[in-house]
């Protein structure tokens, strides 16, 4: 980048981590619409909060109604959506927070790109593996119905692709286990990464 000179501030991430008493990183939930990303993210955040961990949630519909309200669901728009979110997540990690991000992030290339921006050591991928039929039967927002009758185009799982992650750090199957069980597996996994210093 020409003529851009990032300033090295004297209070850095390590200082903020020390002040907060734990490390910061991103827990990234990927899965189909209705798979359970937001439900589990909310429960994980509550549990971490109760343990005194500083958290911040970033969620598809919330970010898309503000920062990214000029973006739709075409491939280039999803890429830009996820690029901005990854950059925002990185800033929050720098601020010392554990970020809980819930986005469909449908392609392996999307998630590789995100991981590169955030840095692989700060990225925990959680695959919310719920079969399309189950997500569709839940149809929490009535979007699958609209996608099936062609009212929504490019809907993930219907006429836009979703690629399952190859080796997520945690995989949960919401049709086979209770949310509480998934949450405790996720929290158990991230415990080591927190390395509470207090
Ligand atoms: N065409 C299409 N495909 C998928 N999803 C759609 C679409 N149109 C609207 N929605 C709503 O947008 C939410 C997904 O946004 P994301 O930012 O997570 O998507 S992406 O990662 O950029 O692919 C998604 O939220 P979740 O159901 O929480 O996943 C939907 O509510
Ligand atoms: N084990 C489970 N884990 C998460 N969600 C579940 C589970 N079982 C049923 N659900 C339901 O599935 C729906 C998932 O919706 P949501 O969390 O909004 O998904 P997403 O954010 O992936 O679109 C919610 O209505 C939730 O109550």
CB-CB neighbours of 120 under 10 Å: 9
Q: Quick: pLDDT tens for 59-113.
A: 988 899 999 999 999 999 999 999 999 999 999 999 999 999 999 999 999 999 9
pLDDT at 27 over 70: yes
Domain 13-130+164-190: CATH superfamily is P-loop containing nucleotide triphosphate hydrolases (3.40.50.300)
Ligand 1 atom having least distance to the Cα of 147: 1
Rounded Cα–Cα distance for residues 55 and 45 (Å): 7
| Cβ contact 50:133 at 8 Å | no
Q: Is 119 annotated as a binding residue?
A: no
Is the C-beta atom of 179 inside 6 A of ligand 2? yes
> Which tokens sit at 68?
């990214």
**In the β-sheet with 98-102, what is the strand arrangement from edge to edge?**
55-59, 98-102, 26-30, 123-128, 170-172
Q: Quick: pLDDT tens for 107-151.
A: 999 999 999 999 999 999 999 999 999 999 999 999 999 999 999
Overall pTM > 0.95: yes
Q: Can you give the pLDDT at residue 54? A: 98
Which bound ligand lies closest to the C-alpha atom of 35?
2
Alpha helices in the chain (DSSP H): 13-20, 37-50, 60-64, 75-94, 108-118, 132-138, 143-148, 179-194
Is the C-beta atom of 54 inside 6 A of ligand 2? no
**Complex ipTM over 0.95:** yes
Per domain, the residue ranges of the chain are: 13-130+164-190
């Amino acid at each position: 980048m020409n003529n851009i000179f990032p300033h090295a501030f004297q209070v850095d991430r390590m200082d903020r981590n020390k002040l907060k008493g734990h490390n910061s990183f991103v827990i990234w939930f990927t899965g189909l619409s209705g798979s359970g990303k937001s439900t589990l993210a909310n429960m994980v955040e509550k549990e971490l909060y109760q343990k005194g961990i500083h958290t911040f949630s970033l969620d598809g519909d919330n970010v898309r109604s503000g920062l990214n309200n000029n973006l739709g669901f075409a491939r280039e728009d999803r890429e830009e959506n996820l690029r901005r979110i990854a950059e925002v997540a990185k800033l929050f990690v720098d601020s010392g927070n554990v970020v809980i991000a819930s986005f469909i992030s449908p392609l392996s290339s999307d998630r590789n790109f995100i991981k590169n921006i955030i840095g692989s050591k700060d990225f925990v991928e959680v695959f919310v593996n719920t079969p399309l039929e189950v997500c569709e039967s839940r149809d929490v927002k009535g979007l699958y119905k609209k996608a099936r009758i062609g009212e929504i185009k490019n809907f993930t799982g219907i006429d836009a692709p979703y690629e399952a992650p190859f080796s997520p750090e945690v995989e949960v199957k919401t049709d086979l286990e209770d949310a509480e069980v998934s949450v405790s597996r996720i929290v158990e996994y991230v415990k080591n990464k927190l390395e509470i210093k207090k």
